Every structure is written in C-alpha cells, then in structure tokens.
Structure 1
C-alpha cells in the first residue's frame, strides 16, 4: 500500500495537469451539490424517526397542530394600561392567517366561582355539617338563658384539610392566580399567547409567523400605553429562530477564525506563502468533495456537522504538515522533486494513511450511534478523513510537480535541519522525565472519582439566549409550563382513564413526582352536578343566617365569595371559557381527545425529564393498549437514555477498533500498543484533569473522547515509523517529526478550538475539552513518550548485551564472580 501511494504520487507529479483537472472537476461538482445545504437545529431531528417520542411528536402535530406559542410580552406599563394593550392587540393577532387563537385571560374567575362543584358530595355534606354546627353553637351562646356546663370550644370552620385534599388538581392550579389577565403588576408586565397553526420545527414558517406578529406590533402606537412601554417576543417559535441564528453565526465566526489561525500557523511553520498554498489546496479540494457528498446524502447539516468544515480542515492540515515537511527535508538532502515526492508519500504518506484509516474507523464507530447528530458527525467525519487523504495524493504531488516544473526550489531556510534542544534534554534526562510523568499521571488518576456528567439540557439548547430567559420569566408569571406533555386519546373514556392513572402515580410518588397537574376537557367538568347543586342550596340557606356584623373584614370577604359559589349553576363543556376549551381542541375540533400533563420540573433538567418519562409512560387505555405521550420532554428523555446507553459501547468500540486497525496496518501488536500508548495515557490524564478544571461531560462533548482516540494516534504512528527506519538518529528524527507532530496537533486543536468562540454552551464545551485533550497529548508526545521510548530502548540494548556475553561475564555482572572452569581429565 505504501509503494502504491508513492507510485501514484509520483505519477501525479509527472502529469500534474491531468490530476489537477480531475481535482477541479470534482471540486466544482462538490460545491454544486453542497450549495443548497441548510442547517437544521431542531431537537426532534436528533433522534431516529422510528423512536416512539419522535413518531408521537409527528402524530401530535397532525392532530393537535403546533405545540408551543408565539408569546408577546408588553412591559413597563400600569396594570390598566397593560390590560388595555392585551385587549387591543388580541383581535389583531387573531386576524393573522397563521394564528388559530390568542389567549390573554386566565380561567381563574370561572373556576373559583364553580369551585364547590369539584368537591365530592360527601365533602360538600361535611362543609354543610361544619357550618351548621358552628351556627348552632353561635345561636346557643347568643341565648341569654343558655348555660354552658363544659366550656366547649367553638366548632371549627377550618377547611384546610379539604383544601389540601384537592390541592394540586387542575382546577386548583388554574384558579390559583388572583388576576384574570396574564399580568404581573410588580414587574409591570403582561403576556399574550398566540397559538400558530404549524409546528415551530418548520423554520421557514416560524420566521413567517413571527415576522407577521412583529409587523402587527410595528403598526401599533405603543406610546398610548405609557412613556416607556415596549414589547418583546418569546415562546417556542422565537426560541427556535434564535437558536438557529446563534448556531449560524457561530459557524461563520468559528470557521473564519479557524481559517485565519491555521494560515498564520502555517506561515510561521513553513515561513513560505507558497508552502501554505501547497498544504491548503488539497484541504480545500477535500472539503469541497466531502460537503458535496453531504449535500447528496443528507441535504442538510445539524448542530454538530455544521462545524465539521473547521474540524476537518484542522485535521487535514496535519497531514499536509507531515507530508510537505518530509518533502522539504528530502529536498534539503539533494533529492529531486519527484524522488522526494515518491519517498514522502511512500513512508510519511503511509503513516498518514494509517492514521487517517484509524481516525475514520473511530468516526465510523461513532456513526453507529442512533443519535442523529452523533451518527451524521461520525459518518461525515470518517468519509472526510479518507477523502482528504485522496485529495492529498491527487493534488499535492501535482502542485509540487507543476511548481518544480516552473523552476521552484525550496529555500534553504525551509530545508535546513534545525536540531531541537529538547531532544538533547530528553536524551540525557530520560529516566527522570519518565518517572516525573508517571507520578503526575498517577496523581491525576486519583481525581477520576470526582468526574461528573452534567444532565442539563442547556448543552443542546442555549438557555442563556434572551428569548429563553424571557420564556422562563413568562412561565413563572403564568404559574405553569407553557408546553405540557400531551397524551393522545380517542374518547372521553380514554381521557378519564389516563387522568386517573397519572393522578394516582403523582400521589404515589408524592414530593418526588415530576407532574405538576394533569387535565383533560372532561376532567374540568365535574360529575353529579345536579346532586351537588341541591347540597349547595342547603349551604346557601345556612349562610344567610351568618351574622355579618360579628365578622372581621377578611371573614366578610370570604363569606361573600362563598355565597357566590353556592349560587353557581351547573355547567357543561360548552360553558367552559374559550381560553380553556381551545387548548383541548385539535385541528378536527373538540371531538379529538387530549390529556395535558404539566411538568413540575424544569424541562432543561435532563434527569428530571428522564424521571418524568418513566412516570407518564406506560399508561394503559381501557382496551389494554399503551397511551401515546408526546412532547419535547419525551424527546429529551430519549436523548438522555440513548447517550447513557451508547457512550460505554462507543468508547470501548473506538478503542478496540483503533487497536485492531493499527495491529493490522502496522504489522504487530507490540507496535500497535506502543503507538496507542500516548493516546491512552493522555486520555486518562485528561479525565483526571477535568475535575481540577471544573469541567464536566455533557450530551455533546462526550463525543470528544472517541474523536481524540482516533485523531491523536497518528502522532505516535509518525514517530514510531520514523524511529523504526534504518540508521535513524533519535535527536534528528525527534527534531523533524516533533515539529510536524506539534504542528499537526496545534492545527487540529485550532479546528476544534474554533468552537471556543461559539456562544452555544454545548459547542463551546466541545472546543474546550478537545483542546485540553490535544494539549495533554502534545505534552506527552513531546516529552513523556520519547523519554519512555529511550528508556525501553536502553533496557532492550542492555538485555541483548547481557544475553550475548559468555556465562562467566554474565555472572560477574550479577555480582557473583566467575566460576572456575572444570579441569579436563
């Protein structure tokens, strides 16, 4: 394979025009195929379509319509002005073609006035009994002829036990707020909830509907609601747009900065503009081919693959540093351009091919993940690594042949051999450096028990974006989540069964429950209302006898409210407020069944969403089938479960694949283990260093570990391959190869390091962890590993020397002295 690479490179060197024309045609085809690539940052698309949570989301969107809201927030106004703003704006928003309805008021007043209908007849009888007992006691005390023989205390009118019994139910939660508007007087803020027709996953529609809402707001004279009055928009649709814009901006900034840093480093490394072009030409061609394949295979990039250009660029430049560095060294020895090209691609190119194959296999192992972001990242990165090697074999020799034909000769400064002082230091202090490195790594390993995994979903969605921050404020104002889970049902009977089971589970778990409350349209209309109305009339008669002049103002207010509640008439679903009824109506109208489950936990808490998925899944319908639960919280739970399940297999699979691939390609298990040693040691050192740096794993940066396994082994391969060649001098090989290793790891770090500039926390954590890994590997490759190789080599030479001596000399070395020869007979 090495000779084939060398021969192909020499052929392209002799016929550069044919090779470059082929490369140019492939690049043009790749760019044309990639021109329509788009970014898809939708969380649902991270999972396969076969997953229950994904299919449930699609079913929900077909039956229920959009999940989530376009939320308009008016701020800095007096309560009266805020209410007037909501009343003025609501009909104008409802007039928009993409808005189903607008919600500006709570159902608090309705449910407070009908609250007693939600008590059981038995509890209503208990209320009547307590009131009657208290009135009897008061009448007795008011009778001057009555003489109490036992200082009996007044019968209690404390109904806290009944309040506790019904606390946490849908009606209690929906009627708990004193204001009928979604209004916070202290914060001078009011909220309007607009329900669109289509899901926020359709980014084009999201932009359109939010743009229409913004257009309506621009047409309003906001000054009439107060001098400082202004509006903001949040909700699912705005959050998706902001997240998409953030990632698009991060891609542009990170890619630009990575390109500039790589250019600067290559100029510093080679001190030649032409050399920089020689390295980047194959990288540019390889990226064009890779993204052309992405355009054909996927048509879009996701949260991770959007940054592969910068990452693959950094990894690809590493091959160029090794290949061109070796070419320049050979030219400095007086070799011809073609001979130097053949030799570079035969040996250094062989090592590059081995490292690319190993890295590609590691990425392909990552590509077995069911998490779409990981799978596409692994497949595209694996293919990209192989394509980049092909691009180097095709383009670099051709460009070298072309420029040498035009008379280019590398400057002496590019080909001169500069001895690295560190090489001499390692040679003389190899034992001390090996011992110190072993102690440092052992110390870092003691920190492994402190390593943690961050279950916060903010690694997938940036919770610091203004729309995300405002959305949490809106949730607090409303009092419950804007985006509940939805259990899909087909009848009122199924709705009732689901509500009963989830309420039972909530009660069973107590404080550990992740359910705030559960509601269906049927559960908001109590049963046995006629029977309860009779009891309420009897309570009303008792309340007429209450002496108001003996009550405190607070008790008088409670009495007035209670008298209004007992006069409430029975009601049906049609009598429910529009703001309630509309939430349970699907696209086909009120006949479609839905049960809404409102979470009590923060939906960015991955552990809590995992518990919630267990709590609400598995609910049985009357026909024995399992109810379908839909919502982004279910998707998040599946992502958590998948990462937890797949991570150990991917890590073990990556390590074994790298070992086997290197064993096969390098021809020996010992050599493969030796080349893998720096990667293994640096990874364990990084894991121990993470707690000291206050770094944690999350749902995205966990993929850095298999990536580091695949991308750092090439440094060991290059060093071992060069040292294994005949008549190699350690200091000379270390000086030349160490410079290339340093350059390769630094440019790889630049590719990932560009993510440090990303505002997205998950992508930022990938860049941070990758750079710690590359930095640790660089330190071990430049100091620890060479020192260890020298120690092992010295021991091997001593062992061979001792084994080759006569037996007497061997024993003298062991301090036993020579044995006398046995006299001949």
Structure 2
C-alpha cells in the first residue's frame, strides 16, 4: 500500500499537467453538480420516511392542511384601536390566494351562551334541585310566621363541583377567556391568526406567504391606530424561515472564519505562502468533488452536513501539514524533489491513508444511524475523507513537480528541525509525567456519573430567536398551543371513539397527563339536547322567581347570565362559529376525520414529548386499526427515542471499527491498541471534564464522540510510525512529528471550532465540545502518550538486556555499574 502510494505520487510528479488537468475537470464537474444544493432545516426531515411519525405528518398535510399559522401581532395601542386593527386587516389577509381563513375572535360568547347544554341531564337536574331548595328556604324564612326549630344554613348554590367536573373539556378551554378578540389589554397586544393552505415544511411557499402577509401589513396606515403602534410577525411559518436564515448565516460565518484561521495558521506553520497553497489546493479540490457527489446523491444539505466544508477542510489540512512538512524536511536534507515526494507519500502518506481510512470507517458507522442528519453526515464525511486523500495523491505531487520544474526549492533554514524543549523534559521526567497523567485522568473519571443529557429541543431549534420568543407569548395570550396534534380518522364514529379514549387516559393519568384538552367537531355538539332543553326551561321558571332585590350586584350579574343561558336554543355542527368549524375541517369537500389534541406542556421539552407520544398513541379504532397521530411533537419524540437507542451501539461500533481497521492496516493488534490509546484516554478524560465545564450532551453534539474517535487516531499513527523507523531518535522525531501533530489537531479543531461561533445553540455546542475534545487529545498526545511510550520502551529494553538469573544470583552495583553476583563470590 505504501509503495503504491509512493509510485502514484512519483508518477504525478513527473507528469504534473496531466494530473492537474484531471483534477480541474473533476472540480468543474463537482461544482456543476453542487450548484443547486439547498439547505433543509425541517425537523421532520431529520427522520427517514419509513418512520410512522413522518408518514403521519405527510398524510396530515394532505388531508388536514397546515397545522401552524402566520401570526400578525399588533402592539402598543388602546384595546379599541387594537380591535379595529384586527377587523381592518382580517379581510385583506383572507383575500390572499395562499390563505384558507383568518381568525381574530374567540368562540367564547357562543360556548358561554350554550354552556348548560354540555352538562349531563342528571347534572342539570341537580342544578334545578339546588335552585329549588334555595328558593324554598328563602320563601320559608321570608314568612314572618315561620319558626325554624333547627338552625339550618341556607342550601348552597355553589356549583364549583360541577365546574370542576367539566373544567378540563374542550368547551371550557375554548371559552375560558372573556375577551372576544385575541387581545391582552394589559400588554396592549392583539393577535391575528392567518391559516395558510400549505405546510410550513415547504420553505418556498412559506417565504412567499410570509412576504405577502408582510406586504399587506405594510400597505396599512398604521399611524391611525396610535402613535406607538407597530406590528411583528411570528408563527410556525416565520419560525421556520428564521431558523433557516440563522443556519445559513452560521454556515457563511463559520466557513469564512475557519478558512481565515486555517490560512493564518498554515502561514505561521510554514512561513511560506507557496507551502500554504500546496496544502490548500488538494483540500479545495477534494471539497469540490465531495460536494458534487452530495449534489448528485442528496440534492440538499441538512443542519449538520451544511458545515462539512469547514469540518472536512480542517481535517484535510491535517494531512497536508504532515505531507508537506515531511517533503520540506527531506528536501532540506538534500533529497531530489521526485524522490522526496515518493518518500513522503510512501511513509507519511501511508500513515495519512491509514488515518483517513480509519476516520472514514468511523464516519460510515455513524452513517448507519436511523437519524437522517447523522446518516448523511456520516456518509458524506466518510466519502469526503477518502476523496481528500485521493486529491492529495493527485494534486500535491503535481504541484510539487510543477514548482520544481521552475527551479523552486525550499530554504534550508525553513526545514531544519530544532529540538523541542518539551521533548527533553519528557525524556528526563517520563515517569513523573506518566504518574501525574494517570492521577489526573483517574480524577476526571470520577466525575463521569455527573454526565447529563439535555432533552430540550433548543439543540435542534433555537428557542431564543425573536420569532420563537414572541410565539410563546402568543400561546399564552391565546390560552393554548398553536401547534396541536391531529388524530386522523375516517368517520364521526371513529372521532367519538378517539375523543373518549384520550379523555379517559387523561383522567386516568391525572396530574401526570400531558394533554390539555381534546376535541372534534362532534364533541363540540352535546347530545340529548331536546331532553336538556326541557330541563333548562324548568330551571328558567325557577330563576324568574328569584327576588333580585335581595341580591348583591355581582349576584344579579350572575343571575342575568344564567337566565340568558337557559333560554339558549339547541344547536348543531352547522350552528358552530365559522372560526371553530374551520379548525376542525380539512381540505376538500369531506371535512370529517380529525381529532385535535392540544398538549398541556412545553413542546420544546423532549422528555415531556416522549410521555405525550406514549399517551396519545395506540388508540384503537372500531375496526381494530390503530389511529394515526400526526404532529411535530411526535417527530421530536421519535428523534429522542432513536438517539437514545442508537448512541451506545454507534459509540461501540465506532471504537471496534477503528480498532479492527488499524489492526489490519498496521499489521498488529499491539500496535493498533497502542495507537488507539491516546484517543481512548482523551475521550474518557473529556467525558469526565464535561460535568466540571457544565457541558451536556444533546441531540446534535453527541455525534462529537464517534467523530473524535475517528479523527484523533491519526496523531498516534503518525507518531508510532515515525518512531518505528530504523535509527529514529525520540527527541528529533517528537520535535518534527509533534509540530505536525499539533498543527493537525489545531486545524481539525478550527474546522469544528468554527461552529462555536454559530448562533444556533445545538451547532454551538458541537463546536464547544469538539474543541474541548481536540484540546484534551492535544495534551495527551504532546505529554501523556510520549511519556508513556518512553516508560514502556525503557521497560522493554531492560527486559531484553537482563537475561534470567540463576537461583541465588542477584544484582549489585559497586560503582562500576550493575553486575550479577552470588553469595559465594
């Protein structure tokens, strides 16, 4: 393998124009294929299409339409002006072709008027009995001839027990606010809800409809609603666009900063712009080829693969530092350019190929994940590592051959290896450094029980974006979430079964239930209305006999409200307010088959969403089929379940894959274990350091661990490979290879560390954790591992130097060095 690499490099060195022409053609093809790549930050697309939650969302979008809203929020005006703004804006928004309907008022008045119809006949009889008992008591005590033999209290007219009984149902939740509009007088805020035709997962439509809504708002004369009046837009569609913009901005910033930092470090490392170009040219070509393959295979990048340019660039530069550094060193020793190229790619290139193969294999293990973001990241990163090595073999020797033809040769002073003072210290204090390192790592391992997993969805969606913050305020104003779950059914009978079952589960779980309320159109129309109307008329006759003169003002208001309620006529689905019907009707002529479940918990809490999913799933329909439940909350629950299930297997698989690959490529298990040691030590030290640094795992940054396993083994491979060369001197090898290892780890850290600049919390946490991991590995590689190697080497040398001694013989030192002696001598 090494000889083949050297021969290919020498061939390309001799024929640079052919090699560079091939590279340029491949770059042109790659860039052509990658020109239409788009970013997809949709949460549902993180899971494969085979997941039921993903299939359910697609079915829901086809039948029910969009779950979210485009929400226009008006702020800083008097309540009358806020209502006027909502009334003026609603018809103009409803006229937009992409808007199904607009909602500005609550159904509170309708449901309060018909509230008594939602009581059972038995409870209505109980209401009638209590009123009649109180009237009888009042009539008796008003008679001056009546003498009570017992001091009985007046019969109670407290109906709080009945209110509690019906307090959690949909009607109560939909009518619990006295305001007719979605308005908060204290906050001086009003909300206008516009329901689009298409789901927010279609970003092109989302951008179009939000722009149209903004256009309508800008056309309004907002000054007539007050001097400080202003508007903002939030809701599911605006949140998706803001998240997309944030990640796009983070990609641009992270990639730019990573490029500048790598360029700066390479210049400081080599002190030659030509050498910098030699390192970056193959990396640029490899990235162009890789993203061309991404364009052909996927056509888009996700929240993770969008940053692979910076990450692969940092990892790829590491190989260039080793290869160009070795070439310059050999040229400085007087070796010809072609021979130096062959030698560099034979040994250092062989180590780079082993490292790339191992890293690629680790990424491919990550590519077995069911989570689409991880799978695509693993496949693209694995292919990218191999492609970049191919680019180095094709491009770098050709560049070296081309500049050699034009008479360029490196300055001797730039390639002289100075003995690193740290190498001398490690040689003299190897035992002490090994012991101290063992104690430090052991101390960090004691902190591992403090490791935590952050179940908040903020790792996938930035909950601190202005539209997210405003959206939570809108939910509080409305009184329930704008993003419910939808249970898909095929008939009114199935709707009734689902509503009854979920209500029963909610009642059984009590305070542990994650459901706020559940409703369907039929559940909003009570049964036995004719029978209840007869009872209500009887109650009305009793209420007419109530003497108002003896009541307080609040009691008179309650009496007036109650008299109004008992006069309400029976109603059907057609009589429900349009705003209510529209929320439960899907696309097309058939509006049946939807049960809406409103969660009672924060939908950014992953653990709560897992419990919610368990509570609402598994409802059996009359024909024995399980009801299909759709919603982004269930996608989140599935993502968490998948990550929790796969993480141990991926970590174990990555470690075993690295070990087996190194065993095969390095030719021995002992050598493979030795090269893997610094990676294992640094990863465990990182896990112990995380609780001390207040870092937690989340849905995204957990992939850093297998990535560290795959990308940090090359440092050990390079060091062991160079030390195994005949006649190698530890201090000299450490000084030369240690510099390259340091540069390689730093550039790898730059690739991941650029994510530390991302505003997105999940991506930011990847950068922080990766930087900490690379920093820990750098300390282990520069101090702990070399000291351990020297200790092991010394013990091995002693065992070889001292043959087994006969019985009774022992070593003495009389000042002339240790030698064997016996008691007789």
Contact kept? 1:36, 1:299, Cα under 8 Å: yes
Report what 2:71 is aligned to. 71
Identify the residue that residue 695 of structure 2 maps to in structure 1.
695
Residues in 2 aligned to 1:633 and 1:815: alpha-carbon distance in whole angstroms: 77
**Does 2:750 align with 1:746?**
no
Please state if 1:407 is matched with 2:407: yes
- Aligned-pair CA distance for 1:440: 0.6
Distance apart, 1:26 and its partner CA: 0.4
Gaps of 5+ in 2: none
- Structure 1 distance, partners of 2:351, 2:788, is 21
Paired residues for 1:498-577 under 5 Å: 498-577=498-577
Post-superposition shift, 1:411?
1.3
For residue 666 of structure 1, report the CA deviation from its aligned partner.
Answer: 0.5
- Give the Å deviation of 1:413: 2.8
Deviations, residues 201-247 of structure 1 (Å, cap 9, x unaligned): 11111111011101101110000000010110001110110011000
* 1:143 alignment counterpart: 143
Question: What's the counterpart of residue 430 of structure 1?
Answer: 430
C-alpha contact 1:83 1:190 (8 A) present in aligned 2 = yes
Pairing 1:193-204 to 2, within 5 Å after superposition: 193-204=193-204
Counterpart contact for 2:809–2:823, Cα < 8 Å: no
Report the 3-state secondary structure (helix = DSSP H, G, I; strand = E; otherwise coil) of the residue aligned with 1:354. helix
Are the structure 2 counterparts of residues 687 and 75 from structure 1 closer, same or farther at C-alpha, using a change threshold of 3 Å? Answer: same
SS across alignment from 2:150 = coil
- In structure 1, the residue corresponding to 2:286 is in which secondary structure? helix
2:694 aligned counterpart, secondary structure: coil
Give the equivalent residue in structure 2 for 1:380: 380
**Counterpart among 813, 816, 822 of residue 818 in structure 1:** 822
Which residue of 1 is the match for residue 366 of structure 2? 366
- Tell me if 1:627 matches 2:652: no
Which residue number in structure 2 is paired with residue 731 of structure 1? 731
What is the deviation of 1:148? 0.5
Shift, 1:752, TM fit: 0.3
Counterparts of 1:259 and 1:373 in 2: how far apart (Å)? 24
1:147-546 aligned within 5 A: 147-546=147-546
Counterpart in 2 of 1:658? 658
CA distance in 2: counterparts of 1:374 and 1:134, whole angstroms? 69
Correspondence list, 1:558-707, <5 A: 558-589=558-589, 591-707=591-707
Question: Aligned in 2, Cα 1:640/1:228: closer, same or farther, shift over 3 Å?
Answer: same
Q: Secondary structure at the match of 2:803?
A: helix
Task: Answer whether contact 2:70 2:195 (CA < 8 A) is retained.
Answer: yes
**Which range moved further: 810-819 or 388-397?**
810-819
Distance 1:123 1:135 in 2: 18
Q: Deviation of residue 592 (structure 1)?
A: 2.4
C-alpha displacement at 1:810, in angstroms? 5.0
Is 1:126 the equivalent of 2:126? yes
Please report how far the alpha carbon of residue 806 of structure 1 lies from its aligned counterpart in structure 2 after TM superposition.
6.7
> Displacement of 1:815 after TM fit?
11
Q: Which residue of 2 aligns with 1:103?
A: 103
Report the number of matched residues.
821
Which whole-Å deviations, capped at 9, do the CAs of 1:261-282 have from their partners, x for residues lacking one? 0000000000000000000000
2:170–2:519 Cα contact (<8 Å) kept: yes
- State how far apart, in whole Å, the 1-side matches of 2:739 and 2:329 are: 12
1:254 Cα offset (Å) = 0.5
Other structure's SS at 1:400 match: helix
- Measure, in 2, the Cα distance between the counterparts of 1:594 and 1:672: 59
The answer to whether the Cα contact below 8 Å between 2:445 and 2:684 also exists between their aligned partners in 1 is yes
1:776 correspondence with 2:776: yes
Please report the RMSD computed on the Cα atoms of aligned residues, expressed in angstroms: 1.2
Q: Secondary structure at the match of 1:178?
A: coil
Distance 1:577-1:17 versus aligned 2 partners, 3 A rule: same
Q: Which residue of 2 aligns with 1:36?
A: 36
SS in 1 for 2:759: coil
Q: For residue 386 of structure 1, report the CA deviation from its aligned partner.
A: 0.2
Looking at structure 2, the residues matched to 348 and 225 of structure 1 have their Cα atoms a distance apart, in angstroms, of 73
Alpha-carbon separation, structure 2, partners of 1:656 and 1:779: 24
The CA deviation string for residues 600-627 of structure 1, in whole angstroms up to 9 with x for no partner, is 0110000000000000000010111100
CA distance in 1: counterparts of 2:98 and 2:140, whole angstroms: 66
Does the CA contact (< 8 Å) of 2:492 and 2:592 recur in 1?
Answer: no
Instruction: Specify every segment of 5 or more residues in structure 1 that has no aligned partner in the other structure, as ranges.
Output: none
d(CA) in 2 for partners of 1:140, 1:769: 80
How does the TM-score come out when normalised to structure 2?
0.98
**Cα distance in 1, alignment partners of residues 758 and 417 from structure 2:** 39
**Displacement, 1:571?**
0.2
Query: Is the contact between residue 325 and residue 740 of structure 1 (CA under 8 Å) also seen in structure 2?
Result: yes
CA–CA separation in structure 2 for the residues paired with 1:632 and 1:596? 14
Deviation at 1:19, TM superposition (A): 0.5
Report the CA distance between 1:590 and its aligned residue. 5.0
- Classify the secondary structure of the residue corresponding to 1:794: helix
Deviation at 1:809, TM superposition (A): 5.4
* Alpha-carbon shift at residue 803 of structure 1 (Å): 2.3
- What is residue 62 of structure 1 aligned with on the other side? 62
Query: Residue 280 of structure 1 aligns to a residue in which SS?
Result: helix
Secondary structure at the aligned position of 1:803 is classed as coil
Contact preservation (8 Å) 1:802, 1:810: no
C-alpha distance in 1 between matches for 2:809 and 2:367: 59
How far off is 1:817 after superposition? 5.5
Answer yes or no: is the 8 Å Cα contact 2:810–2:820 preserved in 1.
no
Q: Secondary structure at the match of 2:712?
A: helix
Contact 1:46 1:372 in 2 (8 A): yes
SS class of match (1:109): helix
Match of 1:16 in 2: 16
**d(CA) in 1 for partners of 2:300 and 2:807?**
72
CA distance in 1, matches of 2:824, 2:162: 106
Query: Residues of 1 paired with 2:289 and 2:127: CA distance?
Result: 78
Query: Aligned partners of 1:804 and 1:341: how far apart in 2?
Result: 47
CA deviation after TM superposition for structure 1 residue 333, in Å: 1.3
| Offset at residue 417 of structure 1 (A) | 1.2
Give yes or no for contact 1:812–1:818 (8 Å, CA) kept in 2: no
The two structures have a TM-score, normalised by structure 1, of: 0.98
Matched residue SS, 1:656: helix
Query: Could you tell me whether the CA contact under 8 Å between 1:258 and 1:754 is conserved in 2?
Result: yes
Q: Distance in 2 between matches of 1:376 and 1:149?
A: 86
Q: Would the aligned equivalents of 1:584 and 1:590 in 2 still touch at CA under 8 Å?
A: no
Alpha-carbon shift at residue 412 of structure 1 (Å): 2.1
Q: Secondary structure at the match of 2:802?
A: helix
CA contact (8 A) 1:502 1:616 kept: yes
Deviations 1:38-76 (Å, cap 9, x if unpaired)? Answer: 001111110111110001001001111112000000011
1:344-369 Cα shifts (integer Å, max 9, x gaps): 10000000000000000000000000
Q: 1-side partners of 2:37 and 2:804: how far apart?
A: 67
Which residue of structure 2 aligns with residue 4 of structure 1?
4
Query: Residue by residue, what CA displacement relative to the aligned partner does 1:482-539 show, whole Å, maximum 9, x if unpaired?
Result: 0100000110100000000000000111111000000000000000000000000000
CA contact 2:363–2:707 (8 Å) conserved in 1: yes
Write out the 4+ residue segments of structure 1 that deviate beyond 2 Å after TM superposition.
589-592, 803-817
Which whole-Å CA distance do the structure 2 matches of 1:371 and 1:770 have between them? 20
d(CA) in 2 for partners of 1:803, 1:184 = 91
Q: Give me the whole-angstrom Cα distance separating, in 1, the residues matched to 2:552 and 2:748.
A: 76
1:590/1:581 CA distance change after superposition, 3 Å: farther
